[in-house]
């Protein structure tokens, strides 16, 4: 048996729609695999009742098929589906690492990115890699048609998850078909600022580089209480706040000493809006970790 811990991720980061992503220290999925004549999947944990166990309908099943690696697969979900924290990507990335090792396929982590992205296509309809790339490689990733660029980073963040659901398909449905040149220029400037901030582990630059006037404003309309939560986080010391992935999760960048106050402020603001939530005080961290023999 092989076991993999695969982290939650946050994609887009405001200014990097379909391009930027980060691995988070918590929460995470745990995937266990054993060789078998055919693939079977068992899912437990957060939101498991909403996840199909049919390999033809599960992201992990698509990964097993792509690697020609049938296995008995057990997924313990720590990352809730429809959270904006890369739930399907965590499972897909974890399975890719585990099955690659189980069958000695010899693929590098970078070579596993398109494999895991195929699993994502079952959720969003397209093989996006902005979540699976950081889930596999860790740190901060930039995904383009030319490949993946990865930077180790350790910026503190708070990821606040409200008890509401926003599907990836619905969130993609509100993305504008066009944008003004002024908005494009501003967003490119923000993305450049954020990237420099990641290379320096500078929460001020990363936070200011999250600003986006194209996609994020439309997606915030799907999240009850977003504006009040954002304002509360900024008042508590966050350097930047944006929607995590497709939402409804909200990501706040900060300094470590202010994490607790920011987490509390965000949960309180959601509560005032009549929405229950929980906050993870974490940081940008490592990609999927492989443990042999279940250890």
Check the annotation: does 85 bind a ligand. yes
Check the annotation: does 139 bind a ligand. no
Check the annotation: does 8 bind a ligand. no
Instruction: Say how far apart CA 213 and CA 187 lie, in whole Å.
Output: 7
**DSSP summary character for residue 181:** H
Instruction: Say how far apart CA 254 and CA 225 lie, in whole Å.
Output: 20
Check the annotation: does 124 bind a ligand. no
Structure tokens at 166: 């926003």
Q: Are 271 and 277 in contact (CB under 8 A)?
A: yes
Structure tokens at 176: 């504008």
SS3 state of residue 119: helix
Q: Can 276 be counted among the known catalytic residues? A: no
Which residues have C-beta within 8 Å of that of residue 250, sequence separation ≥ 6?
84, 159, 160, 162, 223, 226, 229, 230, 233, 241, 242, 243, 244, 266
Structure tokens at 98: 């585990």
Q: Pick the catalytic residue: 141, 168, 187, 193?
A: 168
Check the annotation: does 90 bind a ligand. yes
Q: Pick the catalytic residue: 120, 141, 187, 258?
A: 120
Check the annotation: does 89 bind a ligand. yes
Check the annotation: does 287 bind a ligand. no
Question: Which spans in 71-166 are helix H?
Answer: 87-102, 109-124, 132-137
Spell out a b/e string for 226-251, using b for 16 or more CB atoms within 10 Å of the CB, else e.
Answer: beebbebbbebbbbbbbbbbbbbbbb
Alpha-carbon torsion angle 25, 236, 166, 109, nearest 10: -20
Check the annotation: does 119 bind a ligand. no
Which residues have C-beta within 8 Å of that of residue 77, sequence separation ≥ 6?
29, 43, 44, 45, 46, 47, 48, 51, 87, 91
Check the annotation: does 87 bind a ligand. yes
Q: Can 120 be counted among the known catalytic residues? A: yes
Binding site, annotated residues: 80-90
* Residues in binding site for ATP: 80-90
Question: Which residues are catalytic, by number?
Answer: 120, 168
């Amino acid at each position: 048996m092989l076991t993999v811990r695969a982290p939650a991720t946050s994609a887009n980061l405001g200014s990097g729609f379909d391009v930027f992503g980060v691995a988070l220290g918590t929460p995470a999925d745990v995937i266990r695999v054993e060789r078998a004549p055919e693939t079977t999947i068992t899912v437990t944990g957060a939101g498991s009742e909403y996840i199909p166990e049919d390999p033809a309908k599960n992201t992990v099943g698509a990964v097993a098929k792509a690697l020609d690696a049938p296995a008995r697969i057990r997924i313990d979900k720590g990352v809730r589906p429809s959270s904006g924290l890369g739930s399907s990507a965590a499972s897909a990335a974890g399975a890719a690492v585990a099955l690659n090792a189980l069958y000695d396929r010899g693929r590098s982590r970078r070579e596993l990115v398109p494999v895991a992205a195929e699993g994502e296509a079952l959720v969003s309809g397209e093989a996006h890699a902005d979540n699976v790339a950081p889930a596999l490689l860790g740190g901060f990733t930039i995904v383009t048609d030319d490949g993946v660029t990865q930077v180790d980073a350790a910026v503190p963040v708070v990821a606040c998850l409200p008890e509401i659901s926003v599907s990836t398909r619905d969130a993609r449905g509100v993305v504008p078909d066009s944008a003004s040149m002024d908005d494009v220029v501003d967003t490119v400037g923000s993305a450049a600022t954020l990237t420099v901030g990641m290379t320096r582990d500078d929460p001020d630059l990363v936070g200011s580089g999250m600003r986006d006037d194209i996609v994020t404003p439309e997606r915030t309309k799907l999240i009850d209480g977003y504006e009040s939560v954002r304002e509360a986080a900024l008042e508590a010391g966050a350097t930047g706040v944006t929607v995590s992935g497709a939402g409804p999760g909200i990501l706040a960048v900060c300094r470590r000493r202010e994490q607790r106050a920011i987490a509390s402020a965000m949960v309180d603001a959601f509560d005032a809006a009549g929405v229950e939530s929980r906050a993870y005080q974490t940081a940008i961290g490592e990609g999927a970790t492989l443990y042999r023999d279940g250890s």
